[in-house]
């Protein structure tokens, strides 16, 4: 996926989970403060630190209250895309590379009381897939989540149940950076989610992780990376 117009800025603060103040350089060399929409409602405490170099996408919607979206941040030399809408877009573009050739792919599919990121059919099988974006990195290991997520836990358990009923199910962790050595559930943050991943694998769910090729104006599916579970 690509962004149309991007610029760099310097992160100042985040008054609430939707808004960030960012310092921008103006055409005459002076600096101005811009209010930006943060396209990730997670904590991102290790990423959005004062002075961090960030990447903004410029909006062309005159009705918006903010003219920019904060989409990426540099953690040292590592560029991390933190747009929470990007993982689904990337997986949609590369769905068959991950799952295999499918007869049809339907995003945002409602099944019973749940809604899954993707539904597809493959060789007569019904396929359900849930995508989780990953922005947390520690010592070269990508981790999810960066804060407890009941919604994520619910999705994994639901897919485990569907796999037990004969459906083909996938949990796809899309790592919004490159160069990691592997992926693991964040057991320290939410041990229940780690155990849920272990139970999902035991039930036949495909729990996979892919990194990304990241640029300031784009995000593309990279390579599969090892999924490290405690069992």
What three-state secondary structure class fits 63? coil
Contacts of 109 (CB under 8 A, 6+ apart): 115, 116, 117, 118, 119, 128
Q: What is the pLDDT, as a whole number, of residue 31?
A: 87
Token pair for 223: 């390579």
Confidence of residue 29 (pLDDT cuts 50, 70, 90): confident
| Ramachandran area for residue 66 (φ above 0: left; ψ -120 to 50: alpha; else beta) | beta
* H or E element at residue 183: strand 182-185
Q: What is the pLDDT, as a whole number, of residue 206?
A: 98
Q: 46 exposed, middle or buried (CB, 10 Å; 0-12, 13-18, 19+)?
A: middle
Q: Average model confidence (pLDDT) for the chain? A: 95
Cβ(82)–Cβ(39) under 8 Å?
yes
pLDDT of 30 higher than 90 = no
Interval 100-157: pLDDT, tens: 999 889 999 998 888 999 999 998 899 999 999 999 999 999 999 999 999 999 999 9
Q: What is the pLDDT, as a whole number, of residue 41?
A: 87
DSSP, res 94: T
What's the pTM value of the predicted model, to 2 decimals?
Answer: 0.95
């Amino acid at each position: 996926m690509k962004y149309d117009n991007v610029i760099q800025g310097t992160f100042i603060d985040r008054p609430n989970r939707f808004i960030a103040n960012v310092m921008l350089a103006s055409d005459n060399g002076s600096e101005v403060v811009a209010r930006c929409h943060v396209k990730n409602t997670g904590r991102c405490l290790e990423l959005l630190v004062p002075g961090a170099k960030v990447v903004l996408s410029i909006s062309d919607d005159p009705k918006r209250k903010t003219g920019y979206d904060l989409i990426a941040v540099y953690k040292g030399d590592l560029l991390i895309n933190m747009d929470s809408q990007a993982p689904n877009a990337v997986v949609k573009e590369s769905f068959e590379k991950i799952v295999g050739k499918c007869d049809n792919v339907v995003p945002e599919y409602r099944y019973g009381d749940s809604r899954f990121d993707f539904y597809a059919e493959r060789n007569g099988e019904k396929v359900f897939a849930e995508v989780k974006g990953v922005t947390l990195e520690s010592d070269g290991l990508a981790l999810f989540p960066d804060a407890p997520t009941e919604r994520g836990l619910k999705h994994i358990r639901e897919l485990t149940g569907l796999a037990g009923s004969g459906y083909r199910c996938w949990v796809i962790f899309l790592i919004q950076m490159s160069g990691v050595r592997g992926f693991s559930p964040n057991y320290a943050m939410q041990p229940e989610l780690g155990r849920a991943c272990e139970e999902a694998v035991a039930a036949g769910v495909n729990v996979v992780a892919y990194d990304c090729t990241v640029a300031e104006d784009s995000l593309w599916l990279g390579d599969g990376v090892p999924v490290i579970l405690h069992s």
